[in-house]
Structure 1
Amino acid sequence: MKKLCITIVAMLAFMIFPIISLAVEYDIEKTDIHAYLQSDGNIQVEETHTYAFDGDFNGITRTLIAKKGTEIQDMKATENGKALNVEQEDNLYKVHRKGTDETVTIDLTYTIINGVEVYADMAQFYWPFFDQSNESDYNNLNIYIHPPKPTRDVEFIGYDSAWDTGKVDKDGVVHFAMGHVSSGEKGDVRVAYDSSLFTGASSAGDKSIRQEILSDIEKKEAEIAAFNKRKELFHRIAPFVIVGFALYLLSLMMRRSQYKRQIKSELERQFVDSFFVPKTGLSMPATIQYMNNGVLDTHALTAALLDLVRKGYVKENDQETFVVVNRKTDHEHEQILLTWLFDIIGKNGTFRLTDLETYTKNKNNHESYQKYFANWKKSVKREVDAKELYEKRDNTRMTVGLSSLILLPFIILFGIHELYGWMLAAIVLAGYVIVFAIIDKRKTVEGANIKAQWERFEVKFADLVPTEWNEWLDDDQKRAFIYGLGRNNHTIQKKSKTLMEHVPQYNQLNHNSGTNMLLFLMIASSAHTHFDKAEAATMPNISTGSGGTPGAGGGVGGGGGGSGAF
């Protein structure tokens, strides 16, 4: 699980950080948009955008997606009256203006052809100046709609982000003071004036639209009233939902605590504190897997190779070369390791550490390498599982994990109704329940006993003196070293090296095994380096790309747009 988490984090970092490093940092401090409706049905638009840049930049962008039946023409850009170069890529306009750490104000002008729809009673300008594809926040957005000439006959409505932001002045100019608008939001504006003001525009139909606009306003007000009523209801029931689920989680934790106390009591009754390296009936790779919470990495792989040497299945000719002398192993994972290292990577029962580099240089071998590594891990896990060191309660844990789904509808409803505090509380509770279900693997008495013995060994080994070490059997010394290596326990590894250096006999061949313990130490260092390189070489490559295209238009009539920089 630990290795998986590290891999996921690395993948996300690989994908995200290159994008961040290339992005332009900016804030759009203020945007004013003035739309001047003409009597011929066209609209002259003037936009003023104030950008505050942090770092280098090349200019700003403006996406303008015309509604069906309309067209955008004559895009121009200026700064303090000075014309700027505008590059068009479909619906995207790139205004070139280089600089560093500046606040710039750029004016854009363009014409919307046939933007006014003339009906029997009124003519409307119904337009999305931005939509969900907009990639930037507008910190202070104002949209002004100007009639061809002053009038008091006006109807208007703003949708989504523009709702309830509009006001009309005495000349009929409608101001949508939208303030802060986050990226990914839309906010269409709709303003209608008497159709007689647009004598030069073609008719869009004989229907009347005043009542349609008024009905939209009434409908929106009714929706808001109903929304507020539901919001109040969920606000009242939220405490009961959250407190009730919190009590449920507390009961789960109390039951787990009670079980742990029972196991601890039984463990205290059975536990025998041994001074020597524990003998628990598990192989060294299985012991490392169990004590390492299921993780087997290249340290464990190195330890497994040394364990084959310790058990006499493999003989080392030197610190780089190993030969199989006995294939009648005790465990399946030892057979897999022998086949993998001595027959697949090595040849004819001989394995040299340099074979790893030769084998992994061929990319065709990468999948095979990872497959054998995975099969070895699975086989070690099967040995641990067969020992039944954990209570069999997968179904219970699954049920507990799935119980978090009870909160899912409430999380959605709280979010929809803007009860963000209660939504966050529900998310946290659901997350705690899921995590609890994942980690609630309860050890049996035997499992707890094995863990306690090895944990006690780690503590006592740190205080071991050379005279005590010298009294240990050669096999215990090697198992202690292999355990520390497999778990990447620096304290045990450093202590083992210190003990070897302080006992002169280990500078000579040990009389019990014929294996020099200092050579054992050198083998471990060299083998781990080679396994580490092989693992890195055979890991799948992850390639990513980034890019962007103008939005498809999520506003009314397929129109839309947004702002950005480059």
Structure 2
Amino acid sequence: MYRTRLSMHHLGGGAMTSRRARIASACIICMLMLIVNLGVATPALAREYSIPQVDIDATITADGSLEVREERVFSFDGSFNGVYWNLPQGEFQGRDVTVDVISAGEIEGGRKTAYELTDSGDDRTYSIEEYGSSLRLKIYARHSDEDAHFIITYRINNVVLRHADVAELYWQFVTEGWDVESQNISCAIHLPVPEGQSVVPEDTVRAWGHGPLDASLAFSGNDIVYTVPGIGSSEFAEARVVFPESWIPGAVQDSSSALADILQEEQREADKANRQRMNARIVYFGSMVVAGGAAAASVIFARIKRKSYNEAIKPRFDDDYFRDVPTDDHPAVLGALYHGGTAVPECFTATLMDLTNLGTIALQHVKIKHDGLFGSRLEGDYRLVLNKPIPPEKPNATRSERDAGRINRKAIDLMFEKVALGMADKDHAPGTYPPLYFSSIEDYAKEHASSYERAYDSWKGSVETAYEQRFATGGTVVELPASALVAAGVADIVLAALFFFISIVFGMPFPLIIAFSALLVASGVYAIVCGANRERANEEGRETKAKLEALRRWLKDFTRLDEAIPTDVVLWNRLLVMAVVLGVSEEVIKQLETVLPEVIHSDYLSPTYGWYYASSVNSLSPARAFSSAVSTAHSVSTASTASSSWSSGGGAF
């Protein structure tokens, strides 16, 4: 249609245009599709196209008609047979407006190729047919995965109204109903200025535009140029121009005056558009204030709560170094405390080292004969021998002694009841425990994954339970308001998504959208991290962990300090076990071999030092070799038990 409902003034508009709404909807749909289709690959079979460029050149003739040249660039993704236009015509203010198509074709390499008018549907032709109240112009031109530049020319007869006081063009140069958005639109309207006269904006000529907010119009000599970044399929862009009625002497003139009514209508539309722009600015700047304020509030809230929490959990012990094992707890329990409540494989190694000190087991380096294709060969291995059982629990045992007994018994059960017996030769004497070879640990975990996993988890659970009861519960436990911090973080992330879509709808510059959305996400993540990263320790646990950290620093630095190095072999026996769970065992041994060789080679320390002495078994010390074997076996058993839980089957129905 050539004159429809009044819409946005001066190409300004409402708070939300359908094009921007579609952009926001598309973003939402893309996010949902990404979530639904994570990990699922689907072939892209649909054809798509876009219209990245539209250039319209319209000339008003002396008889009140409009001669139009329209060029559109189509960008095809897939194979297409052609394109089409629906050119509206019909009754307009008591007169018939008709359309005559003059030509249709394509611009290739800068040259225009005119196509033949025919109903054959052959390639490089065009056809015209009645389509409701419009003319449908079809251009047949096959294209696949490329851009095509089409051009049509047509004449709209009797479209300019000649009133008693002014002439009026009211024309939708881009109509509703296109399948896709039209982008980067330029429309130049050439006025029929008689010789000796000129265009004087807001005097002889007035112009308005109705369409999206981000469009504009400008006078250029005797022309009016409309520029529109984009028109959605349910939008339109229209021009309204009034000029002296004497400029179209060949048009039929009516007797009514129209300028006063036109100015009144456009003023109402201007006021409406200005209100809408003001509302948009309020939302525009208000959303930035809310986003920035919410991000700042979350960060400040998280920092205050985190600082208060850190001060509350700060241990009284603040020395740089500690030179002894802080408590008489089992080394695996102290290792779990140091590692945040988790019994790592090094804790199991420390358990066996402690059992070696107690004389319960003995560590041996052996040579094993292996028969191969080219004869037999000797390979080095480590093994553990069970010397005596774990003594029964004493009636008056302390809690740490009871914990140590449970942990040690479960370690012996895993290593000897499960692995050693499970991998023993058939001729093994019943009633005794065969030696445990380090090389058999991974083999047993592969062959008996569930049994190994249950026994390992039982030992691990005994250590972590002892840690929980000793250092994580009871006493003074400082609580961090984690729920509030996580809620604040989640709220920021949700607000970031809302801000993103609202900002797109209201046309905020994309860099600002990204900046404020990223700020909200970052503040949300910060709040969540502050809420999630908390100590699981009571007051004694915090003090003991601080001493463990100080002990680790001392074990790394003791030869570089200006102080006497202790020579007590009993102390070093305990420290060497702790060095394993603190992750500094290799450094400690290297320093001791340099400054105190007589200590590490003493008979009392030899059972513990034996765990550090590397033989020819892959150049690894027993401590490292055993930790590696346990870690690998645990991974293997976990993978095996996980895979066994999957099944497939079938049946009849």
> Under a length normalisation based on structure 1, what TM-score does the superposition of the two structures give?
0.54
Give, in angstroms, the shift of residue 532 of structure 1: 4.4
Q: Quickly say closer, same or farther: Cα 1:461–1:159, change in 2 above 3 A.
A: farther
Give, in angstroms, the shift of residue 449 of structure 1: 1.5
Q: Please, which moves more after superposition, 111-120 or 396-405?
A: 111-120
Whichever residue aligns with residue 457 of structure 1, its letter is L
Confirm or deny: 8 A CA contact 2:559 2:591 kept in the other structure.
no
Q: What are structure 2's unaligned runs of at least 5 residues? A: 1-37, 42-49, 55-71, 83-108, 110-121, 140-144, 158-172, 190-229, 237-271, 366-380, 393-401, 422-432, 504-512, 614-620, 644-653
Q: Quickly say closer, same or farther: Cα 1:47–1:478, change in 2 above 3 A.
A: farther
1:430 to 489, 499, 524: 524
Confirm or deny: 8 A CA contact 2:496 2:521 kept in the other structure.
yes
1:120 to 120, 132, 141: 132
Q: Quickly say closer, same or farther: Cα 1:48–1:435, change in 2 above 3 A.
A: closer
| Correspondence for 1:310 | 357
Confirm or deny: 8 A CA contact 1:298 1:531 kept in the other structure.
yes
Confirm or deny: 8 A CA contact 1:388 1:444 kept in the other structure.
yes
Q: Distance in 2 between matches of 1:64 and 1:232?
A: 46
Whether 2:509 is the aligned partner of 1:420: answer: no
Whether 2:459 is the aligned partner of 1:385: answer: no
Whether 2:333 is the aligned partner of 1:286: answer: yes
Confirm or deny: 8 A CA contact 1:407 1:430 kept in the other structure.
yes
Q: Distance in 2 between matches of 1:274 and 1:48?
A: 71
Q: Distance in 1 between matches of 2:312 and 2:361?
A: 44
| Correspondence for 1:495 | 588
| Correspondence for 1:558 | none
Whether 2:430 is the aligned partner of 1:354: answer: no
Confirm or deny: 8 A CA contact 1:31 1:47 kept in the other structure.
yes
Confirm or deny: 8 A CA contact 2:331 2:578 kept in the other structure.
yes
1:321 to 357, 361, 383: 383
Q: Distance in 1 between matches of 2:134 and 2:461?
A: 74
Counterpart secondary structure, 1:441? coil
- Deviations, residues 6-56 of structure 1 (Å, cap 9, x unaligned): xxxxxxxxxx9xx9xxxxxxxxxx99899xxxxxxxxxx99889xxxxxxx
Whichever residue aligns with residue 344 of structure 1, its letter is K
Whether 2:533 is the aligned partner of 1:459: answer: no
Q: Quickly say closer, same or farther: Cα 1:286–1:442, change in 2 above 3 A.
A: closer
Confirm or deny: 8 A CA contact 1:342 1:351 kept in the other structure.
yes
Q: Distance in 2 between matches of 1:481 and 1:111?
A: 87
Confirm or deny: 8 A CA contact 2:298 2:489 kept in the other structure.
no
- Deviations, residues 473-523 of structure 1 (Å, cap 9, x unaligned): 33x32332232222323xx52222331465444675x44366262454432
Confirm or deny: 8 A CA contact 2:313 2:542 kept in the other structure.
yes
Q: How does 1:252-267 map to 2 (within 5 A)?
A: 252-261=302-311, 264=314, 267=316
Whether 2:627 is the aligned partner of 1:528: answer: yes
Q: Quickly say closer, same or farther: Cα 1:353–1:498, change in 2 above 3 A.
A: same
Q: Quickly say closer, same or farther: Cα 1:352–1:150, change in 2 above 3 A.
A: same
1:515 to 607, 610, 626: 607
- Deviations, residues 328-380 of structure 1 (Å, cap 9, x unaligned): 57344444333222222221464210112322444xx4455455444544432
Give, in angstroms, the shift of residue 462 of structure 1: 3.2
Q: Quickly say closer, same or farther: Cα 1:422–1:313, change in 2 above 3 A.
A: same
1:336 to 387, 410, 413: 410
Q: Which has the higher contact order (CA 8 A, sep 6+)?
A: 1
Whether 2:470 is the aligned partner of 1:397: answer: no
Whether 2:184 is the aligned partner of 1:165: answer: yes
Whichever residue aligns with residue 165 of structure 1, its letter is N
Q: Distance in 2 between matches of 1:422 and 1:155?
A: 35
Q: How does 1:121-136 map to 2 (within 5 A)?
A: 121-122=133-134
Q: Distance in 2 between matches of 1:112 and 1:314?
A: 92
Q: Quickly say closer, same or farther: Cα 1:451–1:231, change in 2 above 3 A.
A: farther
Q: Distance in 2 between matches of 1:460 and 1:529?
A: 26
Counterpart secondary structure, 1:282? coil
Whichever residue aligns with residue 413 of structure 2, its letter is T
Confirm or deny: 8 A CA contact 1:126 1:191 kept in the other structure.
no
Whichever residue aligns with residue 120 of structure 1, its letter is G
Confirm or deny: 8 A CA contact 2:418 2:451 kept in the other structure.
no
Confirm or deny: 8 A CA contact 2:341 2:464 kept in the other structure.
yes
Give, in angstroms, the shift of residue 435 of structure 1: 0.4
Q: Distance in 1 between matches of 2:137 and 2:479?
A: 62
Q: Distance in 1 between matches of 2:536 and 2:78?
A: 57
Confirm or deny: 8 A CA contact 2:363 2:611 kept in the other structure.
no
Whether 2:587 is the aligned partner of 1:471: answer: no
Confirm or deny: 8 A CA contact 1:157 1:166 kept in the other structure.
no
Confirm or deny: 8 A CA contact 2:592 2:600 kept in the other structure.
no
Q: Quickly say closer, same or farther: Cα 1:443–1:386, change in 2 above 3 A.
A: closer
Give, in angstroms, the shift of residue 414 of structure 1: 0.7
Equivalences, count: 391
Percent identity over paired residues: 13
Q: Distance in 1 between matches of 2:126 and 2:486?
A: 57
Counterpart secondary structure, 1:512? coil
Confirm or deny: 8 A CA contact 1:234 1:414 kept in the other structure.
no
Counterpart secondary structure, 1:384? helix
Q: Please, which moves more after superposition, 111-120 or 420-429?
A: 111-120
Confirm or deny: 8 A CA contact 2:419 2:440 kept in the other structure.
yes
Q: Quickly say closer, same or farther: Cα 1:145–1:124, change in 2 above 3 A.
A: farther
Whichever residue aligns with residue 498 of structure 1, its letter is Q
Q: Distance in 2 between matches of 1:336 and 1:113?
A: 87
| Correspondence for 2:210 | none
Whichever residue aligns with residue 296 of structure 2, its letter is A
Q: Distance in 2 between matches of 1:226 and 1:484?
A: 71
Whichever residue aligns with residue 433 of structure 1, its letter is A
Q: Quickly say closer, same or farther: Cα 1:234–1:31, change in 2 above 3 A.
A: closer
Counterpart secondary structure, 1:440? coil
Counterpart secondary structure, 1:471? coil
Which structure's residues are more often helix, by fraction? 1
Confirm or deny: 8 A CA contact 1:33 1:48 kept in the other structure.
no
Q: Distance in 2 between matches of 1:237 and 1:534?
A: 55
Confirm or deny: 8 A CA contact 1:160 1:187 kept in the other structure.
no
Q: Quickly say closer, same or farther: Cα 1:395–1:497, change in 2 above 3 A.
A: closer
Give, in angstroms, the shift of residue 234 of structure 1: 5.2
Confirm or deny: 8 A CA contact 1:124 1:190 kept in the other structure.
no
Q: Distance in 2 between matches of 1:151 and 1:337?
A: 94
Confirm or deny: 8 A CA contact 2:478 2:538 kept in the other structure.
no
Whichever residue aligns with residue 383 of structure 2, its letter is T
> Under a length normalisation based on structure 2, what TM-score does the superposition of the two structures give?
0.48
- Deviations, residues 96-134 of structure 1 (Å, cap 9, x unaligned): xxxxxxxxxxxxxx979999996311256899xxxxxxx
Q: Quickly say closer, same or farther: Cα 1:532–1:369, change in 2 above 3 A.
A: same
Confirm or deny: 8 A CA contact 1:289 1:295 kept in the other structure.
yes
Whichever residue aligns with residue 345 of structure 1, its letter is V
Confirm or deny: 8 A CA contact 1:125 1:191 kept in the other structure.
no
Give, in angstroms, the shift of residue 254 of structure 1: 3.0
Confirm or deny: 8 A CA contact 2:385 2:436 kept in the other structure.
yes
Q: Distance in 2 between matches of 1:64 and 1:31?
A: 15
Counterpart secondary structure, 1:462? helix
> Which structure: larger Rg?
2
Confirm or deny: 8 A CA contact 1:506 1:517 kept in the other structure.
no
Q: Quickly say closer, same or farther: Cα 1:445–1:361, change in 2 above 3 A.
A: closer
Give, in angstroms, the shift of residue 450 of structure 1: 0.9
Q: Quickly say closer, same or farther: Cα 1:357–1:188, change in 2 above 3 A.
A: same
2:346 to 292, 299, 317: 299
Q: Distance in 1 between matches of 2:128 and 2:591?
A: 87
- Deviations, residues 363-405 of structure 1 (Å, cap 9, x unaligned): xx44554554445444322222212447646683123212323
